[in-house]
Amino acid sequence: MIKALEDGYTGEPELNALKKIYKNYNVNTDLDLLEYAIDATIYFTKDNRAALIVGTISKDKLAKLPLTTKKRFIKELEDAWTSHQEENMLKDIYASYNRNNDLNLLEYAIDQTDFANTDDRVNLIVDTLQPKQLKNLPLSTKKRLIKELEAFWTSDDECYAIQTIYKSYQPPIHQ
């Protein structure tokens, strides 16, 4: 059904039908449906389709997506110029981070960002995560975030993000 909706011109009626399919996505039974949806569209609209999917499914479903699917969304959203709407979709993906399921998601997100925007993207990640999520990040991830923020000239926003990461650090308790 998705392939039929994507063949040819995809106008408003087709997009509404696709949204309905995405909204009814079942995390338990439709495992590869969302990645298939991206594959079914033409190269030039993959980022738009990823944004449409992330913007359509519920936050709860987004949080339960497999790591590979979240990574695919990040890749497609970062592949070309990233619009404000796509940046908002990235924030939704970052906000869905769960250490138990998404261990290297944030490092992957940093790696997918173009060199000139890495510090801005890391700042966005830190701003998006809840304090508990920051606290539960692996130490290696916290170090990577700080390294990327410190890489070049560090703005006030980036200094604040670094402070936020430091505040989330809890040294191990030695007995």
Pair 106, 146: CB distance under 8 Å: no
* Residues of the chain above pLDDT 90, percent: 68
Q: How far, in Å, are 28, 120, 122, 157, 173 from residue 116 at the CA level?
A: 38, 9, 12, 16, 39
Per-residue pLDDT, 7: 79
The residue behind tokens 């944030």 is: 106
Pair 46, 38: CB distance under 8 Å: yes
What one-letter code names the amino acid at 89?
Answer: M
State the CB neighbour count (10 A cutoff) for residue 171: 6
Q: What is the pLDDT of residues 73-124, one digit of tens each?
A: 999 999 877 889 999 999 999 999 999 999 899 999 999 998 778 999 999 9
- Cα–Cα dist 105/13, whole Å: 34
Q: How confident is the model at residue 169 (pLDDT cuts 50, 70, 90)?
A: confident
Decide if pLDDT at 1 tops 80. Answer: yes
Q: What is the pLDDT of residues 38-50, one digit of tens each?
A: 999 887 889 999 9
| pTM for this model (two decimals) | 0.85
Average pLDDT over residues 8-20: 88
Average pLDDT over residues 113-141: 93
Q: How far, in Å, are 85, 89, 171 from residue 82 at the CA level?
A: 8, 10, 37
Decide if pLDDT at 174 tops 70. Answer: no
- Cα–Cα dist 3/14, whole Å: 11
Q: What is the pLDDT of residues 148-159, one digit of tens each?
A: 999 877 889 989
Decide if pLDDT at 32 tops 70. Answer: yes
Supply the mean pLDDT for the chain.
Answer: 91
Provide the b/e sequence for 84-103 (b: ≥16 CB within 10 Å). eebeebbbbbbebbeeeebb
